[in-house]
Structure 1
Amino acid sequence: MKHTNEQIDKIIHEALSKEEAAFYDQLGEQNIVEMTLGVFQGKNKGLYIITFIMSLILFGAFIFCMFKLYHAETTKTMILYGAGAFWSMISVLGIKIWYWMQMNTNSMLREMKRLELQIAALSGVNR
Protein backbone atom coordinates (compact mmCIF):
# COMPACT_ATOMS: atom_id res chain seq x y z
CA MET A 1 0.00 0.00 0.00
CA LYS A 2 1.76 3.09 -1.26
CA HIS A 3 0.39 6.51 -0.27
CA THR A 4 1.82 10.00 -0.28
CA ASN A 5 1.39 12.34 2.67
CA GLU A 6 -1.29 14.29 0.78
CA GLN A 7 -3.29 11.10 0.12
CA ILE A 8 -3.01 10.08 3.75
CA ASP A 9 -4.14 13.54 4.87
CA LYS A 10 -7.12 13.31 2.49
CA ILE A 11 -8.11 9.90 3.88
CA ILE A 12 -7.85 11.23 7.42
CA HIS A 13 -9.95 14.31 6.56
CA GLU A 14 -12.66 12.09 5.14
CA ALA A 15 -12.73 9.99 8.31
CA LEU A 16 -12.92 13.00 10.66
CA SER A 17 -15.83 15.20 11.63
CA LYS A 18 -15.65 18.92 10.75
CA GLU A 19 -14.43 19.86 14.24
CA GLU A 20 -11.78 17.16 14.26
CA ALA A 21 -10.66 18.10 10.72
CA ALA A 22 -10.25 21.74 11.78
CA PHE A 23 -8.17 20.61 14.76
CA TYR A 24 -6.10 18.37 12.48
CA ASP A 25 -5.40 21.29 10.15
CA GLN A 26 -4.28 23.34 13.15
CA LEU A 27 -1.64 20.71 13.89
CA GLY A 28 0.07 21.15 10.53
CA GLU A 29 3.66 22.13 9.86
CA GLN A 30 4.89 25.38 11.38
CA ASN A 31 7.48 27.76 10.04
CA ILE A 32 10.34 29.05 12.20
CA VAL A 33 8.48 32.21 13.29
CA GLU A 34 5.43 30.24 14.43
CA MET A 35 7.67 27.78 16.28
CA THR A 36 9.54 30.62 18.00
CA LEU A 37 6.35 32.39 19.06
CA GLY A 38 4.87 29.06 20.13
CA VAL A 39 7.43 28.87 22.93
CA PHE A 40 5.79 31.90 24.55
CA GLN A 41 2.46 30.10 24.97
CA GLY A 42 1.33 27.72 27.65
CA LYS A 43 1.82 27.46 31.38
CA ASN A 44 5.42 28.66 31.47
CA LYS A 45 5.11 31.70 29.21
CA GLY A 46 6.12 34.03 32.07
CA LEU A 47 9.37 32.10 32.53
CA TYR A 48 10.09 32.22 28.79
CA ILE A 49 9.45 35.97 28.67
CA ILE A 50 11.76 36.56 31.64
CA THR A 51 14.54 34.47 30.09
CA PHE A 52 14.11 36.27 26.75
CA ILE A 53 14.45 39.65 28.49
CA MET A 54 17.45 38.30 30.40
CA SER A 55 19.11 37.23 27.14
CA LEU A 56 18.64 40.77 25.78
CA ILE A 57 20.19 42.24 28.94
CA LEU A 58 23.11 39.80 28.73
CA PHE A 59 23.67 40.67 25.08
CA GLY A 60 23.74 44.34 26.07
CA ALA A 61 26.31 43.46 28.74
CA PHE A 62 28.36 41.70 26.06
CA ILE A 63 28.33 44.81 23.85
CA PHE A 64 29.27 47.00 26.84
CA CYS A 65 32.13 44.70 27.88
CA MET A 66 33.47 44.52 24.34
CA PHE A 67 33.42 48.31 24.04
CA LYS A 68 35.19 48.69 27.39
CA LEU A 69 37.66 45.93 26.45
CA TYR A 70 38.58 47.76 23.28
CA HIS A 71 39.26 50.97 25.23
CA ALA A 72 40.94 49.35 28.27
CA GLU A 73 44.43 50.49 29.10
CA THR A 74 45.62 48.02 31.72
CA THR A 75 45.93 44.27 31.49
CA LYS A 76 43.77 43.74 34.57
CA THR A 77 40.81 45.67 33.12
CA MET A 78 41.26 43.88 29.80
CA ILE A 79 41.02 40.51 31.56
CA LEU A 80 37.96 41.60 33.58
CA TYR A 81 36.06 42.97 30.60
CA GLY A 82 37.13 40.03 28.44
CA ALA A 83 35.85 37.60 31.07
CA GLY A 84 32.61 39.58 31.37
CA ALA A 85 32.14 39.51 27.59
CA PHE A 86 32.87 35.78 27.47
CA TRP A 87 30.51 34.98 30.36
CA SER A 88 27.65 37.08 28.98
CA MET A 89 27.92 35.56 25.49
CA ILE A 90 28.09 32.01 26.88
CA SER A 91 24.97 32.80 28.95
CA VAL A 92 23.12 34.10 25.88
CA LEU A 93 24.11 30.98 23.94
CA GLY A 94 22.88 28.77 26.79
CA ILE A 95 19.51 30.53 26.80
CA LYS A 96 19.24 30.21 23.01
CA ILE A 97 20.02 26.48 23.17
CA TRP A 98 17.34 26.11 25.84
CA TYR A 99 14.82 27.88 23.57
CA TRP A 100 15.70 25.59 20.67
CA MET A 101 15.19 22.57 22.93
CA GLN A 102 11.76 23.93 23.92
CA MET A 103 10.88 24.47 20.26
CA ASN A 104 11.91 20.88 19.54
CA THR A 105 9.80 19.62 22.45
CA ASN A 106 6.77 21.55 21.16
CA SER A 107 7.36 20.14 17.67
CA MET A 108 7.52 16.59 19.01
CA LEU A 109 4.35 17.07 21.05
CA ARG A 110 2.60 18.42 17.94
CA GLU A 111 3.63 15.37 15.95
CA MET A 112 2.50 13.03 18.72
CA LYS A 113 -0.92 14.73 18.74
CA ARG A 114 -1.09 14.33 14.97
CA LEU A 115 -0.28 10.64 15.28
CA GLU A 116 -2.90 10.16 17.99
CA LEU A 117 -5.48 11.88 15.83
CA GLN A 118 -4.49 9.83 12.78
CA ILE A 119 -4.72 6.58 14.72
CA ALA A 120 -8.13 7.55 16.10
CA ALA A 121 -9.35 8.58 12.62
CA LEU A 122 -8.08 5.49 10.86
CA SER A 123 -9.44 3.14 13.53
CA GLY A 124 -12.86 4.78 13.25
CA VAL A 125 -13.07 5.78 16.89
CA ASN A 126 -15.14 8.91 17.42
CA ARG A 127 -14.48 10.98 20.52
Structure 2
Amino acid sequence: MNIDEKIKRELEQQSTEIDKILAEEQGIGDFVLGSIRNSLKGWFILINLIVIVVTAVMFWTGYQFVQAQVVEQQIFWAVWFLASLIVQVALKQWIWAEMSRSSLIREIKRVELTMERSVKSLTN
Protein backbone atom coordinates (compact mmCIF):
# COMPACT_ATOMS: atom_id res chain seq x y z
CA MET A 1 0.00 0.00 0.00
CA ASN A 2 1.51 3.34 -0.98
CA ILE A 3 1.31 6.60 0.93
CA ASP A 4 -1.50 8.02 -1.24
CA GLU A 5 -3.77 5.10 -0.40
CA LYS A 6 -2.93 5.44 3.30
CA ILE A 7 -3.79 9.12 3.26
CA LYS A 8 -7.02 8.52 1.35
CA ARG A 9 -8.07 5.77 3.76
CA GLU A 10 -7.24 7.94 6.77
CA LEU A 11 -9.17 10.91 5.40
CA GLU A 12 -12.23 8.75 4.79
CA GLN A 13 -12.01 7.38 8.31
CA GLN A 14 -11.68 10.89 9.75
CA SER A 15 -14.62 12.03 7.66
CA THR A 16 -16.88 9.47 9.30
CA GLU A 17 -15.55 10.45 12.76
CA ILE A 18 -16.21 14.12 12.05
CA ASP A 19 -19.73 13.28 10.87
CA LYS A 20 -20.35 11.48 14.17
CA ILE A 21 -19.06 14.46 16.17
CA LEU A 22 -21.20 16.90 14.21
CA ALA A 23 -24.23 14.68 14.72
CA GLU A 24 -23.88 15.10 18.48
CA GLU A 25 -26.00 18.18 19.00
CA GLN A 26 -25.36 19.66 22.40
CA GLY A 27 -28.11 21.52 24.16
CA ILE A 28 -27.88 24.27 26.74
CA GLY A 29 -27.87 21.67 29.51
CA ASP A 30 -24.70 20.11 28.12
CA PHE A 31 -23.01 23.51 28.01
CA VAL A 32 -23.95 24.27 31.61
CA LEU A 33 -22.83 20.85 32.83
CA GLY A 34 -19.59 21.21 30.91
CA SER A 35 -18.90 24.51 32.65
CA ILE A 36 -19.68 23.04 36.07
CA ARG A 37 -17.14 20.25 35.43
CA ASN A 38 -14.46 22.75 34.39
CA SER A 39 -11.63 24.23 36.46
CA LEU A 40 -13.66 27.33 37.40
CA LYS A 41 -16.64 25.36 38.69
CA GLY A 42 -16.57 27.08 42.11
CA TRP A 43 -16.76 30.50 40.50
CA PHE A 44 -19.41 29.32 38.06
CA ILE A 45 -21.66 28.09 40.87
CA LEU A 46 -21.03 31.21 42.97
CA ILE A 47 -21.87 33.56 40.10
CA ASN A 48 -25.07 31.62 39.39
CA LEU A 49 -26.12 31.95 43.02
CA ILE A 50 -25.36 35.68 42.92
CA VAL A 51 -27.47 35.99 39.74
CA ILE A 52 -30.40 34.42 41.59
CA VAL A 53 -30.03 36.91 44.46
CA VAL A 54 -29.66 39.85 42.06
CA THR A 55 -32.77 38.69 40.17
CA ALA A 56 -34.76 38.67 43.41
CA VAL A 57 -33.46 42.17 44.23
CA MET A 58 -34.36 43.34 40.73
CA PHE A 59 -37.95 42.11 41.04
CA TRP A 60 -38.25 43.58 44.53
CA THR A 61 -36.98 47.00 43.44
CA GLY A 62 -39.29 46.89 40.41
CA TYR A 63 -42.23 46.16 42.68
CA GLN A 64 -41.21 48.98 45.03
CA PHE A 65 -41.00 51.33 42.05
CA VAL A 66 -44.54 50.49 40.98
CA GLN A 67 -45.85 50.87 44.54
CA ALA A 68 -44.10 54.18 45.24
CA GLN A 69 -46.40 57.16 45.66
CA VAL A 70 -43.88 59.99 45.56
CA VAL A 71 -41.72 60.84 42.55
CA GLU A 72 -38.54 60.90 44.68
CA GLN A 73 -39.26 57.33 45.80
CA GLN A 74 -39.91 56.25 42.23
CA ILE A 75 -36.57 57.72 41.14
CA PHE A 76 -34.81 56.00 44.05
CA TRP A 77 -36.29 52.60 43.24
CA ALA A 78 -35.78 53.07 39.49
CA VAL A 79 -32.06 53.73 40.03
CA TRP A 80 -31.72 50.59 42.16
CA PHE A 81 -33.71 48.59 39.62
CA LEU A 82 -31.42 49.72 36.79
CA ALA A 83 -28.32 49.03 38.90
CA SER A 84 -29.48 45.49 39.65
CA LEU A 85 -30.36 44.99 35.97
CA ILE A 86 -26.86 46.06 34.90
CA VAL A 87 -25.25 43.75 37.47
CA GLN A 88 -27.40 40.87 36.30
CA VAL A 89 -26.52 41.45 32.64
CA ALA A 90 -22.81 41.62 33.46
CA LEU A 91 -22.92 38.41 35.49
CA LYS A 92 -24.88 36.55 32.82
CA GLN A 93 -22.41 37.76 30.21
CA TRP A 94 -19.60 36.22 32.28
CA ILE A 95 -21.57 32.96 32.58
CA TRP A 96 -22.09 32.73 28.81
CA ALA A 97 -18.43 33.57 28.16
CA GLU A 98 -17.36 30.83 30.58
CA MET A 99 -19.65 28.29 28.92
CA SER A 100 -18.26 29.28 25.53
CA ARG A 101 -14.69 28.98 26.81
CA SER A 102 -15.37 25.53 28.24
CA SER A 103 -16.93 24.38 24.99
CA LEU A 104 -14.02 25.73 22.96
CA ILE A 105 -11.47 23.97 25.18
CA ARG A 106 -13.33 20.66 24.76
CA GLU A 107 -13.37 21.08 20.97
CA ILE A 108 -9.66 21.90 20.86
CA LYS A 109 -8.91 18.78 22.90
CA ARG A 110 -10.99 16.70 20.48
CA VAL A 111 -9.01 18.06 17.55
CA GLU A 112 -5.73 17.33 19.35
CA LEU A 113 -6.77 13.73 20.00
CA THR A 114 -7.92 13.27 16.41
CA MET A 115 -4.64 14.64 15.07
CA GLU A 116 -2.64 12.44 17.43
CA ARG A 117 -4.54 9.35 16.27
CA SER A 118 -4.03 10.36 12.64
CA VAL A 119 -0.30 10.78 13.07
CA LYS A 120 -0.02 7.42 14.85
CA SER A 121 -1.99 5.63 12.16
CA LEU A 122 0.07 7.19 9.37
CA THR A 123 3.38 6.25 11.00
CA ASN A 124 2.30 2.62 11.42
Q: TM-score, normalised by structure 1?
A: 0.74
How far apart are 1:30 and its partner, in Å?
2.7
The equivalences for 1:64-103 within 5 A come to 64-103=60-99
Distance 1:51 1:120, change over 3 A: same
Residue 7 of structure 1 corresponds to which residue in structure 2? 15
Q: SS of the residue aligned with 1:124?
A: helix
The equivalences for 1:27-46 within 5 A come to 30-46=26-42
Q: Which has the larger radius of gyration?
A: 2
Percent identical across equivalent pairs? 21
Question: Aligned to 2:54, which of 58, 62, 75?
Answer: 58
Contact 2:47–2:91 under 8 Å retained in 1: yes
Q: TM-score, normalised by structure 2?
A: 0.76
Query: Higher helix share goes to which structure?
Result: 2
Q: Which runs of 5+ in 1 are unaligned?
A: 11-24
How far apart are 1:8 and its partner, in Å?
3.8
1:42-69 Cα shifts (integer Å, max 9, x gaps): 3322221111111111100111011110
Contact 2:38–2:102 under 8 Å retained in 1: no
Instruction: Please list every run of at least 4 consecutive aligned residues from structure 1 whose deviation after the TM superposition is greater than 6 angstroms.
Output: 3-6
Contact 2:61–2:78 under 8 Å retained in 1: yes
Alignment size in residue pairs: 110
1:100-121 Cα shifts (integer Å, max 9, x gaps): 1011111111111011111101
Separation in structure 2 between the aligned mates of residue 111 and residue 5 of structure 1, nearest angstrom = 19
